[in-house]
Structure 1
Amino acid sequence: MGNIGSFLKNVVTEMRKVSWPKRKELTRYTVVVLSTVIFMALFFALIDTGISELFRWFLAL
C-alpha cells in the first residue's frame, strides 16, 4: 500500500512541473487540429466517392 501512496505523491510532484499551454495557444492548437480533421475527412470522402463511382462505372460495362 505504501508503494501506491508514494506513486501518487510522485505523480502530483511531476504534474506540478508540467508546462501547460496558455489559453491562446490552446485555442490555436484546437483550431488547427479541428480544421485538419475536417479537411482530411472531406478529402477522404471525396476520394472514396470517386473510387466508388469508378467501380460502379466499370461494373456497369
Structure 2
Amino acid sequence: MGKIREFFSGVVSEMRKVSWPKRKELTKYTVVVLSTVIFMALYFVVIDLGISELFRWFLSI
C-alpha cells in the first residue's frame, strides 16, 4: 500500500511541474491540429479517388 501512495505522490509532484498552455495557445494549437487533419483527409480522399479511377480505366481496356 505504501508503494501505491508513493507512486501517486510522485505523480502529483510531477503534475505540479507541468507548464499548461494558456487558453489562447490551446485555441491556436487546436485550430492547427484540426486544419491539418482536415487537409490530410481531403488529400487522401483525392488520392484514393485518383487511384480508383486509374484502376477502373486500366481494367476497362
TM-score per shorter chain, which class? over 0.9
Aligned length: 61
Provide the residue aligned with 2:56 in structure 1. Answer: 56
**TM-score, with length taken from structure 1:** 0.98
Q: Structure 1 unaligned runs (5+)?
A: none
Runs (4+) of structure 1 exceeding 3 A deviation are none
**1:21 aligned counterpart, secondary structure:** coil
Residue number in structure 2 paired with 1:26? 26
Identity %: 77
Unaligned runs of 5+ in 2: none
Structure 2: distance between partners of 1:47 and 1:7 = 48
Compute the RMSD of aligned alpha carbons: 0.4
* TM-score (normalised: structure 2): 0.98
